[in-house]
Structure formats: C-alpha cells, structure tokens
Chains A and B, each alone.
Chain A
C-alpha cells in the first residue's frame, strides 16, 4: 500500500529549471566517492595485480601467475606469522571478551564510583599501541622488570622472561593487547547490559533465581549480538596488529612473534619483495573478509529491517 513519506527528500523529476539542491548533494559526495573507489577498491585491485607479478623493489608488470602465492605458502616465516596470528587471535579475543564481560558485570552490580572504575579500565585505550608496547617491554624486561622485582621480594626462582624466549614471546603480545583493549570490550558489554529491560531482573527476583544463574542462562544469551559485535571488532584489531609487535617484541626473538601484518610491511618497505608482500597482503585481506562478511551482512540487514515502519 501507499507508504507515506518513507522516501525522504527525493529529487523531483521532469523539467529542470533552477539548480537543485539534490545536485549539490551529489557533488558533495565526490571526494568521499573518489577516495572509496580509488583508494580503497582500486588500490586493492592494484595490490592484487602486483601480487601476480615478479615485482621486487619496484613494480614490474611481468606476470608470473600465482608464483608469488606459491612462494608465500612455501615461506616458513609466513607460516610462523599465520600460526602466531591464530594463537594471538584466540588468546587476545578470548581474553578481552572474558575479562571485558566480567568487568562489565561487576560494574553493572550497582557500585559506587562507577565512573571512576570505568575511567580507569578505559584509560589504556587512549594510548597508542606503540606506547603500550614500550611500557610492557619495560615491565617484562627480564633483567630489571617484573621478574627481578618479584625475585627481590624473596621468590628467588620466579621466572617471567617470556619476552626473550622464542617459544613464549607470542604470549606477551596477548598480555599487552588485552591490557589495552579490555576497556573497550567492557564498555560495549556494559552498554549491552544497560539495555536489558529492568523487568527481566524483577521477574528473575520474583522467581528467586540466583544472580549468577541469571547471568549465565538469561542475560548472556540476550547479549549474543553484543558478543558477536565485540568478536568482530577484536578480530579486526588482531588482523591489523602491527604497531604492537613492532614496539613490544620487534617480531622477535628471531621471527618467533611475527604477525602477517608485519610480514607484509616488512617485505614491501624493507626487503624489496614487493610481489611477495602484495601476495601476503591479499591473503590477509581474504582472511579479514572471511571474518567480517557475516558482520557486514548483519549490519546491512539490520539497516533494512530498521527502515520498515
């Protein structure tokens, strides 16, 4: 049936006499449109094209098919980086969500000085990954940092030298990463908790259900879209993770804490392996798309649903 006024300000059709604001609106979109088309999608295609060539220091357009991808998948450092991405991803995302949710629940229990706690937990968010990396590098310094401080307290055999151990360095990334991002997860979960109808709480109190059971069986299932969003956001952060590795471990010792994002930048900027770096970048993009596409789908569906009535 005739849905009134749904369309908003639509351009009139037919004879055109004077300059129409709709045309100005179109022109105002030109800069953003250019950036989107050229700098986002055009450049993705360009990178893909480079990945099909044997470019090293400079782009040369001699195509070698998927050679660079074969080289990439035969590259041990790449696989270390990918493996690290998986380990770091699980620890970082899992840790952020777990601790973020717990903090949000604690804060939501009706505490005093809520603003203070919230400010504290979100404080690291305002600092850069570089700052975070440098601070934690110092804290985890095996000679003068945490290890030494605990030993000085009397626990002589205490060991916390992960940052210099090739088999442990990747875990230090998760520690620093969680420290920085847990506040964001907390804020998102807290917003979700605050959105829950207070009558739900009244109902469970009338029914005499213990608080922890309410969180486990009632509240948590209600927050599944929040969990989904947080998961996606944290994944996006993990896959772009570059600064933190550079500042915290420098990818080391050796390449033991390398990540794909760093691998790509290193090969493009420092190692004159443009083709290989481009191939790595493209694989990285495919990983991102695989994780993000359900989210984009979800957002757009929400958008469409929201405009119904």
Chain B
C-alpha cells in the first residue's frame, strides 16, 4: 500500500524495552498526528520512521517499500523540526537547495525549484538572507520550504509550532492545513498540543508509555476515548471522573457515587445492562448541564474565560468542573443544580480504565 506502515516496531535502549509491537497504518494523503505527553515515545517513533534512530525490531514500509534498514536520505521523506534546524552558515536559498545539491541535481534546476517554493511560501524576498536575520515564523517557513522542495512522499513534523508564540502558532496551523489540502501528501506530525491535533489531523494516534492508546479520527478520540488516559489527556478543562454505580431510580437511571446520586438524562439503552456494576463515569465539562431537575451542588469557584466560564462544583462527594456560557455569572458559595448528559458520557472499567462500549 502507499503511505506508511509500521509492523510490530519495537524499540529498546540498552536492553530496556520502551516501545513494543507498535502497529500503525498511515494511509496515503493522511494527516496523522502522534499525540502524547512528553516521554511517551512519539518523537522516538517519528525518528524511527525517519531512520534517525534504528528500530530494534519490526519493519517500516514507506510506499510499499521496506525501508527498515535504509539511511534517512534513502527513505523518500522530509522532516521539519521544532528548532527549525536551519544551517546557520547558509543563506535561505542554500538552505532550501541543500538537499537537492546533495542529491546531485543540476544548479539551474535547483535554482528554479527553490524559487517555486519561495513563491509558494511567500519567502521569495528573504532568499538571500541568513537564518539569523529572520524572525521565528520566517525561519519556520524556510524549514517547511526545505522539506517541500524535495517533494518527498512523506512529510515528518516534529513539534514544528512549539517554538512560536500563540498568535503565530494559530496562523501557521491554518497555513499547514491549507498546505496539506493543496499538496495531498502524507504527513506524520508529532505534538503534545491537543488543539493542534484536533484541528490538523485526519487521524490522531494517542501514545502513552510507548504504547498506542487510541488511533482514530479527532472526533472519535474526543467523543469516544478508548480509555481513561485518552479521556483525561484530550480536552481542556479535563474530563470529570466519578467512581460509583449506575442505579435504577424510578423510571430514571442515576449514577450513585456513594455520597449522592447524580441524575442522568438521555441514557442509551445499553446502559441498563450495567446497572449495579462498579464503574467510572466520565463527563466532559460541557456535558454537565445546569437544570432545576438536577442534584444540588455548591459553587466553589467560577472562572470566566471570555467565551465561557468554568464552574467548579462540589457535588456528591466529588469536585467537578462544568462549562457554561458567560451570560449568567456564578458566585462562589451559591447553590446550583446539575445533571449529566447521559448520551455523551463515557464509562470505564475501574480496574484497567478501558472504555465500555454501550450496545
């Protein structure tokens, strides 16, 4: 197949296995984001795809070709780094053309390709400057240009936006997305920033402790997290977790934490099978609904953020965070009634944190 395929890839440092049997299929034209906390192995995985670190076991295929034992420059990839990694002694023109020169492309051809990329990324006027004379955003463009000019079948991005300030990061994000839509090439993109993952990816792979936790579309990763780790890592403010049991209460189903019963609405039918079992309920802040029919809770703190406010609540022996529009301000120490949107809640096994799929 085209794209990238990892088969049972394993990585060990000095006998210590840090990654075992990673299997991933990245379809041609996918924008795949490797998301995870620092130390989760996402950069190691990217380096193995690039050939910068050898895989201890398993195989890596790019466009159907086994590249496991090939050098980085033989793999038909290009990479963009967090630190830009521009050659400080070369002009922008030379930086972009260096890879082509190393491949023995004739000078005039290089010149033409560099000019094309310069136009595409709007860095034409900067071509004769040194990297040190450029701003961070301009350097990042040059770094992307250096990758583009080679026309590889796979682009690898290693946290490319982390060094930019917030505004520039948002601009570049949009630009990257446009670029991907225009070129249609496969991209593997490493980040710890879930906003980048959600906005850019066609598929997200959440990694933790050297293992794939979930590989799915951004929507599904958010709506149907495969386990508690994914649920808590993706989404801000983080998901609320409550331990307890589903109970029948008249016609309705409630979640009994032992210190109180949280009412649920729109509970899926399959949930009835789980009544009485010990569970962990996960509810995102926007799925706590303020409703007169809900359970009484005490407002501990309200944080207005502008478009929203986050309300910290003490209820049923837990502290939960709810998210609501800014129209109706909450005051600390007052009471509020809440219930949980049962249609969108997640349920996890308390022992291993795996999500329970409702039939």
* B225 interface hit (Cβ, 8 Å): no
| 1/0 contact string of A20-45 vs chain B (CB within 8 Å) | 11000000000000000000000000
Which A1-19 residues have C-beta < 8 A from chain B? 1-5, 7, 9-18
Name the distance in Å between A239's Cβ and chain B's nearest Cβ. Answer: 39
Q: Which of B19-45 contact A (CB under 8 A)?
A: 19, 39-44
Q: Which residues of B contact A17 (CB under 8 A)?
A: 69-70
Min CB distance A257 to B, Å, is 52
Cα A11 to Cα B210 in complex, Å, equals 22
Contact A7 B53 (CB under 8 A): yes
List residues of chain A with CB within 8 A of the CB of B209.
Answer: 1-2
Knowing A2-B11, A2-B210, A4-B43, the reply to whether A11 touches B18 (Cβ < 8 A) is: no
- A1: B residues at CB distance < 8 A: 18, 39-41, 209-210
Do residues A5 and B52 form an inter-chain contact, with CB atoms below 8 A?
yes
The reply to whether the CB of B71 lies closer than 8 angstroms to some CB of chain A is yes
B227 within 8 A of A: no
Give the contact-size bracket for chain B.
20 to 34
When the two chains form their complex, are residues A12 and B51 in contact, meaning their CB atoms are under 8 A apart?
Answer: yes
Instruction: Establish whether residues B42 and A4, one from each chain, have CB atoms under 8 Å apart when the complex forms.
Output: yes
CB distance from B35 to the nearest CB of A (A): 14
Total interface residues in chain A, CB < 8 Å = 18
- Return the CB mask of B1-22 against A: 1 if under 8 Å, else 0: 0000000000101000011000
Asked whether, in the complex, the Cβ of B19 is within 8 Å of the Cβ of A2, the reply is yes
Contacting residues of chain A (274-301) with chain B, CB-CB under 8 angstroms: none
Residue in A3, A5, A14, A21 whose beta carbon sits within 8 Å of that of B54 in the complex:
A14
B44 touches A5 (CB 8 A): yes
Chain B 114-132, CB-CB to A under 8 Å as 1, else 0, gives 0000000000000000000
Residue of B nearest to A22 (CB): B71
The docked-state distance in angstroms from the alpha carbon of A12 to that of B55 is 8
Tell me the bound Cα distance from A2 to B71 in angstroms: 22
Q: How far is the CA of A15 from the CA of B71 in the complex (A)?
A: 11
B194: Cβ under 8 A from any A Cβ: no
Interfacial residues, chain B to chain A (CB-CB below 8 A): 11, 13, 18-19, 39-44, 47, 51-54, 56, 68-71, 74, 209-210
Chain A residues engaging chain B, CB cutoff 8 angstroms: 1-5, 7, 9-18, 20-21
- Pairs of residues from A and B, 3 with the lowest C-beta to C-beta distance, nearest first: A4-B43, A2-B41, A2-B18
